[in-house]
A and B are shown apart, each in its own frame.
Chain A
């Protein structure tokens, strides 16, 4: 089977057309205000930055430690989200378990819960005196809180729902018609999942993973509550930015800009991916 190149790589831009003419004017005013609300602060950040010292600010030991830790933990928790969130989304979208709406609500809890509350619940559960933490400590000598693992757990806790919501939506939109066809063609449920379901929802899976990564990268509340702020071990970029904002504003602004750049790279990267379709 050859890997086929599509015959006509014509751009499928959704920006063509003249929808702008059809929009009533009351839409425009709040739209501009809303855009300004997002764009102006970022622009302010650019203006406020201490550009002559920018490079030295973002390459300080503390900053590099935090960036490395942020990327490490962010990618690890995204991988965990994929590992556990994908099956979870499949169960939510395809199974007919009784009480499924209740399960869904529980899965979505981290979306509405203040992250610091999430961090505290994790601390109560896995802390040295917590019901599970106690056992881990006694049996394996493992202490989870205030370790890099705690950062990953906290990030996975808050980021997983983003992946699940995005993927479940994609699964429901795709419906089970393709799986039914695959079954009539002799595909076992596992084959249908591997060769039909997952490829069909791949765009949803990718955008869900990106959302989860972005959320993990920006995680603050749950991390600070569950993992603390130890340089090189648990002090991720957002934690360092907050710390610096108390006494070293120039560094905080520079690191914030660094996060903005990372975020833009992520968004641009996935946009290109979406536009090129499933390959």
Chain B
């Protein structure tokens, strides 16, 4: 493990005496890094030394040990999903250099940023790692333009040049007209757009997104999410490398190429977004945010599932026909019937009841594929009251119908690699 990061290219192999953030840059004594080594992490260390991000972090936080290996290829967007307390923030803090892990190696674009065994810890401001968190955290004493220009100014650009860069990024985020406002005069969504512009204006080698839409109200979040998606994809630098941490599956669906699912400090599942969501193996992935997801391609009036069935719904933003997309709806919007219902719901599919899970005041019915219908219903959930269960008299193995109104279904674009 000690050889993983200590290549000859490590220009920043010495420790900086200066410190930026309280307690962030203390030198660590090498921990027993080798004990936790597995075949998986060894492979991680060997490959992808050339560019992109390779990180392995082992550290004790509170009640569990975080032990994660993550790789992000250049221009790739990887989402780390996990319940609260699964170690997501610790991972981000380590990558940004704000936390002191017990044992970690972080390599980004051929630079060793952290190698606890070799005593390497590049200070935050030399990492070229951007961070966007829930709160916009715009500097309150600066205008929007000055906020965005801050990074370029730190990189040595002149006042005028940095202002031009700032104006360009503000325009990119659709907030050019707010350039002269102060943060106190911006709404939450506007502030977050400025914060995104500020984070991208320094053209970081890696952009960390920490629940970037969690603090926005439900009306503002989709627009900002769509905007970030476009900017990250069509970034002037040709695809921004991004590590996204979230517990909202929509963030992952819309933005990420790949998912890494964390639970109690361990990676329990990872793979291409569509695959993980279509065939979740971990309990958490299956229940992420408690939403029903159907993957397919965008089409007129909704989404075409893998077998061609139309799932009727409304697109969250303009979509091209044939574009990879996912239909999302809440389990509580699913009605359950014994006989095929003859009402207004546009989406009616036969399922075989796989499981019943009591969840507080409701019972979650988990669907399995039925011989009578499409295979993609496997894993869909419907929340019904115990009274309704009693009335229907259902039990696992029963053949049922799930019905969802088209107005309850939102069709979102799915991130796709351009290469």
Interface residues of chain A, those whose CB is within 8 Å of chain B, are 1-2, 4, 6-8, 94-96, 176-192, 195-196, 199-200, 202, 278
Contacts and interface: CB of A to CB of B under 8 A. Distances in A.
Nearest to A187: B154
A179 B202 CA distance: 16
Contact of A185 (B97, B143, B154): B154
Contacts of B185: 6-8
Contact of A189 (B18, B139, B149, B180): B18
B229 interface: no
30 contacts: A1-B163, A2-B180, A4-B181, A4-B182, A6-B181, A6-B182, A6-B185, A176-B21, A177-B135, A180-B24, A180-B98, A180-B131, A182-B150, A182-B154, A183-B97, A184-B96, A184-B124, A184-B129, A185-B199, A186-B126, A186-B155, A187-B20, A187-B154, A188-B125, A189-B18, A191-B154, A199-B141, A199-B142, A200-B139, A202-B141
A64 to B, nearest CB: 41
Given A7-B181, A186-B154, A189-B19, A177 B137 contact: yes
Contacts of A189: 18-20, 125
B56 interface: no
Interface in B117-164: 123-131, 135, 137, 139-143, 145-146, 149-151, 154-155, 159, 162-163
B151 to A, nearest CB: 4
Nearest to B130: A184
A183 B20 contact: yes
The 6 closest A-B pairs by CB, nearest first: A183-B124, A185-B151, A186-B154, A183-B20, A199-B141, A4-B180
B23 interface: yes
Contacts of B127: 184
B176 to A, nearest CB: 14
A188 B125 CA distance: 6
Nearest to A8: B185
A200 to B, nearest CB: 6
A185 B137 contact: no
Contacts of B198: 185
B22 interface: yes
A179 B139 contact: no
Query: Which of B98, B127, B140, B198 has the most chain A CB within a 10 Å cutoff?
Result: B140
Contacts of A199: 139, 141-142
B139 A178 contact: yes
B405 to A, nearest CB: 43
A278 B130 contact: no
A202 to B, nearest CB: 7
Nearest to A192: B20
Contacts, number: 103
B23 A278 contact: no
Contacts of B155: 186
Contacts of B22: 94-96, 176
B141 A278 contact: yes
A181 B131 contact: yes
B180 A186 contact: no
A179 B154 contact: no
Query: Which of B149, B150, B198 has the most chain A CB within a 10 Å cutoff?
Result: B150
Nearest to B131: A184
A5 to B, nearest CB: 8
Nearest to B129: A184
Given A1-B149, A183-B124, A7 B21 contact: no
A182 to B, nearest CB: 7
A165 to B, nearest CB: 19
Given A185-B154, A186-B155, A7 B180 contact: yes
Given A7-B180, A185-B202, A189-B19, A1 B124 contact: no
Nearest to B144: A4
Contacts of B19: 189
A184 B150 CA distance: 11
Contacts of B129: 184
Contacts of B202: 185-186
B140 A200 contact: yes
Contacts of A191: 154
A200 B20 contact: no
Contacts of B159: 1
A179 B137 contact: no
A188 B20 CA distance: 7
B23 A96 contact: yes
A170 B155 CA distance: 29
Contacts of A95: 22
A180 B20 contact: yes
Contact of B21 (A179, A185, A190, A202): A179
Query: Which of B123, B124, B163 has the most chain A CB within a 10 Å cutoff?
Result: B124
A13 B256 CA distance: 46
Contacts of B123: 183
Nearest to A2: B180
Interface in B265-321: none
A14 B123 CA distance: 42
Contacts of B24: 180
B392 to A, nearest CB: 51
Contacts of B199: 184-185
Contact of A178 (B126, B137, B145, B146): B137
B143 A4 contact: yes
A201 B96 CA distance: 25
Given A182-B150, A186-B151, A192-B125, 7 more contacts: A176-B21, A184-B130, A184-B199, A185-B198, A186-B125, A187-B150, A188-B154
Nearest to B145: A1
A1 B135 CA distance: 25
A179 B141 contact: no
Interface in B151-199: 151, 154-155, 159, 162-163, 180-182, 185, 198-199
Contacts of A202: 141
Contacts of A4: 143, 145, 180-182
Contacts of B96: 180, 184
